[in-house]
Amino acid sequence: QAPAALLVCSLQPAGSLPSARRPRRGMADEVLESVQDLDRLSFYGLAQALGRVQRLLERALRAETAKAPKPEDRAIADRKEEILDAQAQIKRAMGTLLEAPALTKRERPLAEDFLQEQLTKLKSAKDDARAAKGIERLEAMMRQAQDAPEVPESRQVRTIEASIRQLNAEWKEVSPIYDKWQAGRHKFKSNDELQAFRRRYEDCRKARDASAGKLEEALCVRRDEAAEAASRR
């Protein structure tokens, strides 16, 4: 399971506070907890984590200049140093993966956008000798990311995507029938046939609703490139 997925358990451990008295987890807690295990995130997962952290940082900066910031925004601002540290760690992890890029079709544009953003920042300080070296290194990484062979998604991602295609095909079949039945323009031969159809409709609907989250979670997990290559032989 991707570390970005936060699990909520309905059972309270012995000695825990009742939910009404337990301190409320803030957005900063959730985001910072979700990026604690960066080694398990794919480049896609790191890009999503960076986006969450940067949105959190934007809220912290706005809270610092606001006359009357919301309590949650003020709490986020109080943890700005932690957020900045998380941002730096994620960027380092992304840079490490781009030293020997193995990018999927989804990840390549994310890598290009990330590198371009870093290049833009360094070019604003182009008179700095260290910045010039950084620009040269980033431009080389950009060429490498653009030229590297595209790698396939993980087997788990491909399986989920195939399931989504099947569900979408089934939805195109059952949804119009359901709408007609709701409008009184379709009749079933028996109650058994009706109940079977309703179960099929609900199963398809629920599976489609859950599929996006499952796909996102699978995309965020780092691939074992060696194992993936072996499975394709």
Per the model's pLDDT, the better-predicted residue between 224 and 180 turns out to be 180
Give the whole-angstrom CA distance, residue 126 versus residue 142. 18
The letter for the amino acid at 144 is Q
CB atoms within 10 A of CB 9: 6
Please report the pLDDT score of residue 54 as a whole number. Answer: 95
The Cα 73–Cα 81 span in angstroms is 14
Backbone phi, then psi, for 118, in 5-degree steps? Answer: -70, -40
Structure token digits, residue 129: 């000798």
Least confident of 48-62, 68-82, 116-130: 116-130
User: What distance, in Å, lies between the first and last C-alpha atoms of the chain?
Assistant: 26
Confidence (pLDDT) at 232: 55
Q: Residue 43: which residues within 8 A CB-CB, separation 6 or more?
A: 94, 97, 98, 103, 107, 110, 111
Kindly tell me the burial class for residue 192, based on how many C-beta atoms sit within 10 Å of its own C-beta (0-12, 13-18, 19 or more): exposed
Kindly report, residue by residue over 30-49, the tens digit of the pLDDT: 888 878 899 999 999 999 99
pLDDT of residue 12: 35
Alpha carbons 120 and 123: distance in angstroms, whole number: 5
**What are 58-110's pLDDT values in tens digits?**
999 999 999 999 999 999 999 999 999 999 999 999 999 999 999 999 999 99
Measured from the Cβ of residue 96, the count of other Cβ atoms closer than 10 Å reads: 12
Which has the higher per-residue pLDDT, 78 or 130?
78
Percent of the chain with pLDDT over 70: 85
Non-local (6+) Cβ contacts of 168 within 8 A are 208
Q: How far apart are CA 145 and CA 115, in angstroms?
A: 9
- In eight-state DSSP terms, residue 43 is H
Task: Give dist(CA 43, CA 192) in Å, integer.
Answer: 49
What's residue 19's pLDDT?
39
pLDDT at 157 over 90: yes
Assign 231 a pLDDT band (cuts: 50, 70, 90).
Answer: low
- Quote the Cα angle for 126-132-137, to 5°: 135
